[in-house]
Structure 1
């Protein structure tokens, strides 16, 4: 059951309950490529800060063109 929350051109939060996943550590948090990934038992989420949102020209993460 995924949940996706976003504010217009703002930060994004994706949360999912992974029944298929083996319950791991109680809480694990790490940062990858500017995003914050967290696991809380079988729940996992990805927080993407506003600076990762596409700008007016459709550029992503400083790339020359959208991928």
Structure 2
């Protein structure tokens, strides 16, 4: 999964990964604390996706 995540990041695409609370520190170590930590709430994820999609369209990424 690491290579798929790296491919998405290098392509400028958004990637959403669910991480259990017990693995948050390891995830932050892996990503270098890049990214956004979202609370577990559908409306928050929907808004995050809306913003990512808008930004990707503005940059010409489909």
> Does the TM-score normalized on the shorter chain lie above 0.5?
no
Q: Which has the higher contact order (CA 8 A, sep 6+)?
A: 2
Greater per-residue strand proportion: 1
Considering only CA atoms, is the larger Rg found in Structure 1 or Structure 2?
A: 1
TM-score normalised by the chain length of structure 1: 0.25
